Amino acid sequence: MLTDNEFTTKDKIIKPDFSTKTGREFLAFYLQTKFKQILSYDKKAERPIFKDINPNFISKFSRRLIENPQKKFLIGVTGESASGKTTICKHIKKTSEKLNFPLEFLSIDNYFNDISDLIKQYGTFDALRDNGYDVDSPDSFQLDILKEDLIKLSHGINIKAPEYLINGTGISVPNSIPIHSEKFILVEGMAAMYKDIKDVFDVKIYIDIDPKIQKKWFIERASKRNQSEENALKHWEYVRIAAEKYIRPSKSEADIIINGASSLDYFSQIIEFIHTATNSFIS
């Protein structure tokens, strides 16, 4: 396993003073080494997690760590509907809690506009969509509030995010979900790379998925939500077109492209390795 050497090593490193630039430079070099170790291991995996890495990512991440150490790390995760992004992020959050890893999770789906009046007008969400409402458009999100909240979190300020109710009413409840400004903040949703939202993130991740698996997961999810297969297929056609228009272009701007079909247990192993590696110092 990837973590075996980290767990069994007796070679602890004396912790440098991270309040100094020299100490942070050492940490940046150390983390670069560990990240390269992860990538090397991942290439040999049955279903690798990492599909592509921006060649400038490691140096950019290192500069950020050295030059602005006080700012929290914002990690933006996007991908098409049913690509596995929500499942992966929730699993990472769950794993981080077990390890006492300082990570918070924020779903951008909660920043959908309140469309309760429109749903009342058309009768149902499906009827609203069928009459041309573009739910995946940047205009369908409270992007100004989202950006403001992300900036606050990056500077150590806790927020209360809105909550979009998923009961079909289209209601958005403002200042509803408490989000703590932890050292790492995982932000997930299709709108993570919309407009200038993407510029707020220190790390931009795109979850990629085989279209056949994606469609299968989409239909299965619709069934669990008591949607008919006919309606699910109609919605799938909309999702496919919207993804081409709004989501796929952000793939070229991602720092890291991840395989959405990788094992969740394997994701846990990677998080465990990162946690162990970053705690292998002695005072």
pLDDT of residue 6: 46
Q: What is the CATH number of the domain that holds 137?
A: 3.40.50.300
* 42 and 145 share one domain: no
pLDDT of residue 192: 96
pLDDT of residue 7: 41
* 238 and 275 share one domain: no
* 116 and 143 share one domain: yes
pLDDT of residue 62: 87
Please, which pLDDT band fits residue 1 given cuts at 50, 70 and 90?
Answer: low
* 107 and 128 share one domain: yes
* 118 and 99 share one domain: yes
Instruction: Give tens-digit pLDDT for 163-179.
Output: 999 888 999 999 999 99
Q: Compute φ and ψ for 107, nearest 5 degrees.
A: -95, 125
Instruction: Give tens-digit pLDDT for 225-262.
Output: 778 888 888 889 999 999 999 999 999 999 999 999 99
* 225 and 237 share one domain: yes
Instruction: Give tens-digit pLDDT for 2-41.
Output: 555 544 444 567 778 888 989 889 888 888 898 999 999 9
Give the rounded percent of residues in the chain with a pLDDT score beyond 70: 94
Number of folded domains in the chain? 2
* 16 and 67 share one domain: no
* 45 and 62 share one domain: no
Instruction: Give tens-digit pLDDT for 115-145.
Output: 999 999 999 988 998 899 999 999 999 999 9
* 27 and 57 share one domain: no
CA nearest to 74, candidates 175, 189, 177? 189
* 125 and 149 share one domain: yes
* 129 and 210 share one domain: yes
| For residue 109, pLDDT beyond 60 | yes
Residue 135 domain boundaries:
52-261
* 19 and 56 share one domain: no
